Amino acid sequence: MTMTNAIYANATVSITELRRNPGAVIEEAGLEPVAILNHNRATAYLVPADAFEIMMEKLEDIDLAELVRKRRHGKTVKVSLDDL
C-alpha cells in the first residue's frame, strides 16, 4: 500500500532543479510557497520572506492568546494610568 502525504503548496520543484537555479525558483514562486521534492516527496518548503514573517506573527499571536486564556481567571492587580 502506498502512503500519500499532503503537499501544502500549489507549486512544486525537485531538489535538483532548486540546486540548478534557485533564483529562478524564487522568482517564479512570487508570493506563494513552493514544495521542494526529493524522490517525489515533500522534504521542505520554500516560503517567501514576507509570508514567513506573517506566519511567525500569527504564531506569536496564538501563543499570546493562549497565555491570556491561562491567566484569565488569575489574580488581578489594579493599576492607574498615572502609575504607568
26: alpha, beta or left, given left = phi > 0 and alpha = psi -120 to 50? alpha
Q: Which of 7, 41, 12 is nearest to 28 (CA)?
A: 12
pLDDT of residue 84: 77
Q: Print pLDDT tens along the chain (84 aa).
A: 666 789 999 999 999 999 999 999 999 998 899 999 999 999 999 999 988 999 999 999 999 999 999 989 888 888 888 887
pLDDT of residue 1: 61
User: Which residues 6+ apart lie within 8 Å of 29 measured at CB?
Assistant: 11, 46, 48
Q: What is the pTM for the complete model shown?
A: 0.70
Cell 504607568, residue located: 84
